[in-house]
Amino acid sequence: YFVTILKAKGTLQPAVREAIFGRLESIHCTSQILLFHLERGHLGLGLEGFCQNMELYGHYAENLEQAKKTLQEQVKKNKAFCRFKKLQESRPEFLGWQLEDLLPLPLQRLHQYKHLFRDLMENSSPDSVEFQHLARRWYIQEGWLMVVPTKGEEVKRKMFFLFSDILIATKPCHPLHPLNSDKFSCQAVYPLNQCTVDKVFGHTQSQGGLLSLSFPHKTLLLMSSNQEDINNWYLNLTAAIR
């Protein structure tokens, strides 16, 4: 209702359209493939394919705030887009929701998928063919690493959790939170099936090192001042990717 028509009409410049909607079309395609498998009872195949595309959601989440800002700018200065936006929002399918309300929906649905998958797996017999197809994930390592920005932003310290197929970046919840003060909030999930890792520096007995993790649409630079720590991360990441 938005992206395809905007492409055809040329109401927005490609770069602006990309800034607002990001990888939304790819996310929609991933969801449709998941639905295709689930409707046929192929939970294992559906879940495996979906997890391989989790990076799309991470990239979308990282750009959501900027997408909202770009959308606000275009509503103010692009009259043609503003008219188109109001016309599409008036469609009965959207139940009065505005585009600003629709943009976060893919991430909200991701939380719903989590509960759906959990319910399906809990009700799947271990002897069933589909249960055997479910990917097994195991914990490998956790620890603090510094995230080095590719642009002129400040270095950020985050807690990372490495599993056999994903790397999770988190930050501590607010210390005054009544329930989650001792917990971590997930910031991004990086699937390892399309990742390559390189040691930028830290080959010698110097103090610490820097790792470069390359994904199809993002490069993650991780640094530690502890030589042994960075070596362990490098070895475990390399093993997980293999």
Give yes or no for a contact between 130 and 44, defined as CB atoms under 8 angstroms apart: yes
Averaged over 121-136, what is the pLDDT?
Answer: 66
Phi-psi bin for 99: left (phi > 0), alpha (psi -120 to 50), beta? alpha
Band of residue 224 on the pLDDT scale cut at 50, 70, 90: very high
Q: Domains along the chain?
A: 3-133 (1.20.900.10), 139-241 (2.30.29.30)
Mean pLDDT score of the chain, rounded to an integer? 84
Whole-structure pTM value: 0.54
**Closest by Cα among 193, 200, 242 to 220:** 200
Q: For the chain, how far is it from start to end, CA to CA, in angstroms?
A: 41
Is pLDDT of 196 > 70? yes
Burial category of 31 from C-beta neighbours within 10 Å (exposed 0-12, middle 13-18, buried 19 and up): middle
Give the pLDDT of residue 129: 66
Spatial distance between the Cα atoms of 78 and 131, rounded to a whole number of angstroms:
51
Give yes or no for a contact between 59 and 40, defined as CB atoms under 8 angstroms apart: no
Half-sphere exposure of 123 (CA within 13 A, CB side): 8
70: how many CB neighbours lie within 10 A of its CB? 19
Residues paired with 185 in a beta bridge: 171
Q: How far is CA 192 from the centre of its chain?
A: 12
3-state secondary structure of 217: coil
Averaged over 37-45, what is the pLDDT?
Answer: 80
Give the pLDDT of residue 232: 92
In sequence order, what are the residues at sequence separation of 6 or more whose Cβ sits closer than 8 angstroms to the Cβ of residue 61? 107, 188
Band of residue 109 on the pLDDT scale cut at 50, 70, 90: confident
More confident position, 167 or 126: 167
Percent of the chain at pLDDT exceeding 70: 90
Spatial distance between the Cα atoms of 151 and 126, rounded to a whole number of angstroms:
48
